[in-house]
A and B are shown apart, each in its own frame.
Chain A
Amino acid sequence: GQQVMQIPQYQHVQEGEDFTTYCNSSTTLSNIQWYKQRPGGHPVFLIQLVKSGEVKKQKRLTFQFGEAKKNSSLHITATQTTDVGTYFCAGILAGGTSYGKLTFGQGTILTVHP
């Protein structure tokens, strides 16, 4: 079945360092979404990318969707302690019959040391 893989599984950074997490799908995606889940919390929507090669920015966060629409990345510049949490990508299989089905990656856990 469709798989969405994320790397790395864990990332420990010093405050002020940059952070990147990568998301790869075995099949083409119609879109990709990114969520953040704080410890003990629930996933919170960050952004959705739809177009091949799309790049979107939210303050210190930069999101990219690959040209082949099989991979995506999230880059955080100059991390802060408030960035701590697990970052998930989630994609929709292109051309699938169950287009309500959002497949999540296993997440990247980010810890930031002050």
Chain B
Amino acid sequence: ETGVTQSPTHLIKTRGQQVTLRCSSQSGHNTVSWYQQALGQGPQFIFQYYREEENGRGNFPPRFSGLQFPNYSSELNVNALELDDSALYLCASSLGRGAYEQYFGPGTRLTVT
């Protein structure tokens, strides 16, 4: 098992609401990436944070935003939730800026009704 933890495990929200997902990176890792994985699909890159700065962003609207803290933990915030936002949200930590070996957390299952 990796040392990456995510909370909460499951979440049910209503369309239009806002949600915050949390991730603690593996000890020694300074980079966190967030992915959205719809059922039966591969993970889709949302964005990456390196030393508290955004280091690349995928094709997601601005209502997807994030933060990285000095201890390298991270948050993913999604505003104005839509039904299509229902997915598994994966956090992955790595060492160094870029896309090195990713250590994934168990994910947060978000359901939007």
Contact = CB atoms under 8 A, between A and B. Distances in A.
Interface string B61-104: 00000000000000000000000000000101000011111111
Interface in A19-63: 31, 33, 35, 41-45, 48
A99 B57 CA distance: 10
B45 A88 contact: no
Interface of A: 1, 6, 31, 33, 35, 41-45, 48, 88, 90, 92, 98-107
Contacts of A43: 43, 90, 92, 102, 104
Contact of A100 (B41, B55, B105): B55
Contacts of A31: 99
19 contacts: A31-B99, A33-B99, A35-B102, A42-B106, A42-B107, A43-B104, A45-B101, A48-B100, A48-B101, A100-B33, A100-B48, A100-B50, A100-B55, A100-B99, A101-B48, A101-B56, A101-B99, A104-B35, A104-B45
Interface of B: 31, 33, 35, 40-45, 48, 50, 55-59, 90, 92, 97-107
Contacts of A102: 33, 45, 99, 102
B45 A103 contact: yes
Contacts of B40: 106
A99 B101 contact: no
B44 A98 contact: no
